[in-house]
Structure 1
Amino acid sequence: MTSASGQQGSFITFEGIDGSGKSTQVHRLADHLRARGHDVVITREPGGSPGAEEIRALVLQGDPDRWSAETEILLFTAARRDHMERLIGPALAAGKTVICDRFADSTRMYQGLSRGDLRAVVDQLHSLMIGREPDLTVLIDMDPATGLERALARQTADERFEAFGAGLQQAMRAGFLALAEEFRDRFRVVDGGRDIDTVAADIAAIADNALA
């Protein structure tokens, strides 16, 4: 989809293990791009639209084993479809820059690998129901132990995946780095172990180059 002027917006996603600083850097990049004249929409997954937020509550609250991996894949895909229809698609069609905290790559990792060898199922559903990859994916790489410590310190009620522990964090870091190799055309890996300003400056430079 394109806007009336024919200008298609840009779709940027952030990925990384829990506690890697994605949310902070999403807002830092949005501020940077707005200062450069971009019309920016910030969103997140799971969620981002009213229907998707309802599904988020179903998935992230409660016991970690509440849903099977297969059920979670279906729920996340349904949430993403609504998110695309209601928010991301229209914003891109209007020529806006959409920055999303997590997208399909998180489903490829969390449900496709950590909870069963279901990566092919995730990709098939994504191709059938979503059909869109980001233009740029920023992967904030972080030491798993440090990331888990940060995530647990947040004490948020709905982030239940931290309950899977350090083993999941380590597997996810390896999985995200493998995805970055698989999708080299859109992934950029940033060292998240440095101070916030340094990380933000690197991400801003990456985005400026991608949007040029």
Structure 2
Amino acid sequence: MEKTSQYPGTLIAIEGTDGSGKSTQAELLKLYFESKGQGVVISSCNTAELIRGAIKKLKERNTLDPVTFCFLYAADFVDRFEHVIIPALSAGKVVIAEQYVYTVFARAIIRGIDRDWITGMFDFALTPARTFYLDVRFEDLLARIQWKSRDERYFDYYEAGMDLNLAGRKKDSFVLYQQRLLEIYKQISSEYQFTVIDAMKPIQKQQMELRLETASILKNRLRRKGSR
């Protein structure tokens, strides 16, 4: 992937499985940067309106094969990359990507897509100045997710890995799917040298760690502003 040095803005990514608290930490980090006078944009996964509609329709019919699944989420990433991330970086803003290209990698790899093929498809993507991985132990993740629902309607067909034929019941499939997904995320985290945050710590303690880790980024940005 390419470097972000050609843009005046700064790209930060927050990765993790569903239920790890990505949205909460992204919003808190946004408030922090804004309090320091920085322009901030949060870029979330599956936000391209046309593509999101196509994904929703195909999901409702349970007709997404692994390759189509990957291409649609890849198309969503390309759309947000070109229309949200790059313009914001060009304008000198901080971009907080809540799930970046690494999410596409994980969802593809778990469905049997060749790792080199899917990563090679995204050679154009920028390497974030810092990528945080919100690490949740599987047992804690399961408890965090399941307390929200008392029936299987809560579990999305694909987020439960039902398309992989892991188990007959959604809850059972969800358990197996999330276990495998966590393993893949940990591999990707090590390969791309993510900064690991214990997502089972209190929310404010996690946020303080993120702020401490991004302090140098903020300091460099303020220095650049002052030298203009």
Q: Same fold judged by TM-score > 0.5? A: yes
- Corresponding residue for 1:3? none
| Contact 1:9–1:97, Cα closer than 8 Å, also in 2 | yes
Matched, 1:175 2:184: yes
Q: Paired residues, what number?
A: 198
Give unpaired runs (5+ residues) of structure 2. Answer: 1-5, 162-173, 220-228
Q: 1:60 and 1:109, CA in 2 relative to 1: closer, same or farther beyond 3 A?
A: farther
CA distance in 2, matches of 1:151, 1:58: 26
The RMSD of aligned alpha carbons is 2.4
Equivalent positions of 1:55-204 (< 5 A) are 55-59=51-55, 62=59, 65-111=62-108, 113-127=109-123, 130-152=124-146, 160-164=157-161, 165-184=174-193, 187-204=194-211
Listed one character per residue, the Cα deviations across residues 182-201 of structure 1 (whole Å, up to 9, x for unaligned) are 112xx200000111111111
Q: 1:175 and 1:34, CA in 2 relative to 1: closer, same or farther beyond 3 A?
A: same
Partner of 2:127: helix, strand, or coil?
coil
Partner of 1:107: helix, strand, or coil?
helix
CA distance in 2, matches of 1:210, 1:65: 43
CA distance in 2, matches of 1:204, 1:124: 32
Partner of 1:145: helix, strand, or coil?
helix
Report the more deviating stretch, 142-151 or 95-104.
Answer: 142-151
Listed one character per residue, the Cα deviations across residues 112-150 of structure 1 (whole Å, up to 9, x for unaligned) are x211142222112112xx432222111000022332443
Structure 1 position 44, deviation (Å) = 0.1
Structure 1 position 65, deviation (Å) = 4.7
Q: State the one-letter code of the partner of 2:197.
A: V
| Contact 1:60–1:159, Cα closer than 8 Å, also in 2 | no
CA distance in 2, matches of 1:110, 1:19: 16
Q: State the one-letter code of the partner of 1:107.
A: V
Listed one character per residue, the Cα deviations across residues 131-186 of structure 1 (whole Å, up to 9, x for unaligned) are 322221110000223324434555798955432201121222221121121112xx
Provide the TM-score with structure 2 as the length reference. Answer: 0.78
Q: State the one-letter code of the partner of 2:13.
A: T
CA distance in 2, matches of 1:117, 1:7: 32
Partner of 1:43: helix, strand, or coil?
strand
Structure 1 position 53, deviation (Å) = 3.0
Report which of the two structures shows the higher radius of gyration computed on alpha carbons: 2
Give unpaired runs (5+ residues) of structure 1. Answer: 1-5
CA distance in 2, matches of 1:158, 1:27: 25
Matched, 1:54 2:61: no
CA distance in 2, matches of 1:66, 1:150: 29
| Contact 1:26–1:42, Cα closer than 8 Å, also in 2 | yes
| Contact 2:13–2:132, Cα closer than 8 Å, also in 1 | yes
